[in-house]
Structure 1
Amino acid sequence: MNISRMDVIYARQSVDRKDSISIESQIDFCKYELRGGSHKVFKDKGYSGKNTDRPEFQKLLVEIKKGTVKRVVVYKLDRISRSILDFANMMELFQQYDVEFVSSTEKFDTSTPMGRAMLNICIVFAQLERETIQKRVTDAYYSRCTKGFHMSGQAPYGYRLEPTVVEGIRTKMMVAEPEAAEQIRLMFEMYAEPETSFGDITRYFEEQNIRVYDKSLARGYLSQLLRNPVYAQADLELYEFFKSQGAAIINDPADFAGTNGCYLYQGRDVKEDKDKSLKDQILVIAPHEPIVSSDVWLRCRKKLMNNTAFQGGRKAQNTWLAGKVKCGNCGYALKVTHNPAGYEYLRCNKRADNGGCKGCGTIRKNEFEQFVFTAMCEKLREFKLLRGGEEKVNPKLTALQVELAQVENEIEKLLDTLTGANATLLAYANSKIEALDTNRQALTKQIAELSVETVSPKQIELLSGYLDDWENVCFDDKRKVVDGLISQIRATNDYVQIEWKI
């Protein structure tokens, strides 16, 4: 059967600017090249040429693979791609399906070796132009950093943003929120005391019903807040400290008069953990007023530098159930703790943070791990009996698993945004998480039902082998087995609910 092949115009515009050619103008140029012949138009507005992740361009590729495209016409080479690798792959595809490629302003003929060579040379320069633009953006960013501009994003807790002008350029400056600023001072003053811990502060805030962005103060968030020099009085004492730590200080010592706050930006050459090292980070005087004296901030910072006990992590890395087991009451992760007698228990992380949950009760780690191991063995035996038959493949299961991974990723991202979120964002994130969790549970159930028919005998044999020799299986392999069988465990000392993947 003969398939009629058509001419195609492709146009792309990443940003609508006065100095950029519009999509409509690009199409007019391409129409002139076609001399009024019939054609189909594909256009992507608001998409960069750095990759091929563009909806209309992907539709064009589908048409090419169907064999319905005779010729692709563009206004200019970089409208279709700015990547050498992407362009090379496209040219290979065009040749495979006998598709001509025409640039209306550059007059390339891809049917000749010289034409292909010229195209590759041009794409090199297109990529060079993109990398040059990226460098200019980076240079502009660091130039604005050194002048003390606010570099986008919401203000840290304790401040709000207000418009201002710095060196004739409109920007924003931070203004202290009185009530939140008092809470900031309290956090710093409490932690500056030698015997005060993160837990002491978070428990006090919980007992006094003091909320940060309408939620309980968590130790991880407190740890990050106390490290932020944006709250500190920028005086000579602060200057000397950052200088001794290897930071790049933009202002002269005379500018550290104690009347302003400061910004700390990550420098270009920073390779170490920015929370642990200040080397090569950029310190600059900022227009806002400080909340905390340099003396108090420095006492806290030096105490933090010596505090190796708290790492801010939420996963219990000394159990192979890490990341899977949650408190049955609040949903926070359970972590491993030790009592003086040497026993290990699973405790609710939220209760440990600030006492905001009644906890999961007494769950001994070794006994709980044995319980889950037994449950996995039993589940696998049931699965073998239900499955029977030969190996099957179900594309629907693969699609559901991909969808589940995307949903879980969305939930993780939303949970990350809750730290430091304002009331509006908090309400939105909570409602979104609730909807996503309902979807996640439905997907998990569908996957469990379909998996009975689709998991291969080899996978069953591998998992069974691990469970049969569990005592000799390494920690990482135990984690893999749990990840292959279990989506999530919610537990208290009264009940255990396991969400299975099979």
Structure 2
Amino acid sequence: MRVAIYIRVSTDMQAEDGFSVEGQRSRLISYAESQDWTITDFYIDDGYSAKDLKRPAMQQMLYEVKEQKFDVVLVYKLDRLTRSVANLHELLEEFDANNVKFKSATEIFETTTAMGRFFITLVGAMAEWERGTISERVRFGVEQMVKEGKRPGGIFPFGYTSTGEFIPEEAALIREAAQLYMSGLGYKSVAMRLNSLGKLRRGKLWTDATVSYTLENPFYAGIIRVGTKDKNGKYVNSNRGERVKCIYGSGDHQEIFTKEEYNAIQKYKKSKTSGGFSPNSIYWFSGALRCGRCGAAMFGKLTTQRKTTGGMKRTQYYICSSRHHSRSCDLPIFRQVHVEKLMMDYILKVKVDVAQLRDETSKIESEAKEYNDDIAEAKRELAKLAERRSRWQYMFVEGLISQDDVRRKLKAENDAEMLIRDKLAMTQKSLSGIPKVEELAQLEELWSLLDDHEKKEMILTLFHRIEINTPLTKPKGVKNSFFDAYLQNVTFN
């Protein structure tokens, strides 16, 4: 007789004698040989629960049951096959339909009679009851731990060590991610900005998923939550897959957000799916665009739908976050096409023609060299000042000059140092403010060929800050026309 051997080991049973993979394999091989059966294959689910049949080896075996590749399924114990009465009936019906028998090496079952089926069902019901009882005990223990402010196992998230100790540098990065998101960026844009600045998660890149998880995780607000969300957003118990009440408690660990800050983030996330926000729309300038009046971030929204000759239409625009949240700023809203036009006008002012670009680039490189030379010279002068200070102090100690002479000379040295440091600061500022002429030219040439995501990525890569302003408070004029406005300051990454 051809026999298929099925072996299952749950994570918490792997170390127990007789239930390891090798322990079950050796016993089942011996049993099959004693019956003079031919083993056709082994189906092994290592580390899977018996709560359902969604196991790789189980699914493969059921597929081959229909192919009738064997005559009997052999297991060490019934609970290795399943702990669910419903699944047991499903398996037995599938075996019967394909003339496949079932056999346990340590239990006596007869599945060909009504009494035999009753007995095996009774044993299956006992296994299911045992699993439920264990789960209830575990959950009771978990609930008690949460009530006491203790985290019931699991890996601590980014921001904490493996033992739950607070990491200030990582906490600051989490707060920065939240600030970028609250400024109007989406998950992907936040990830791109942090990655471009080299601010990684322990050497790994941020993704939209990690940003989303970080902003949603209540642990950062001092809240312990046991339970996970399913695809419909409902909370489920992660151990059993059943819909149960999610458990919350106040932890005793150091939080990164206050509860008020965490609730504000969740409220903002919820608002982005309604009230004009659209997660499916791409706002090219979010993350870089700033209000020229108050300096606050400007974020993208959609106008309400309106009918046109071509159907319904919604327009993308940007609004100052200070105006939106507290009405403390009166900068008008800007349509995205208006910001786009102002950006192209700015680029045209910098880019005249290819020849000029080369000359400008050459000039910039020359200026950069001069700036670097100035910086090096200033640093050498500071080193000389430090050396002279030490010499005056030594001469005073040795009695070679008076205390008044030392004071006069040190004051002169301090004044000279201030002048050098001011020059150094101005030189470095001038160097960082040089426009990236060639990259601007490339942006203007490629812009019409890029899709929405590529446009946004290019803006975030090239620009650090784009300040927009207008002399108007309530622009009036022809509908859809561009009112008087300008980019008052542009800084580059």
Report the TM-score when normalising by structure 2. 0.44
Which of these two proteins has the greater Rg computed from alpha carbons?
2
Report the TM-score when normalising by structure 1. 0.44
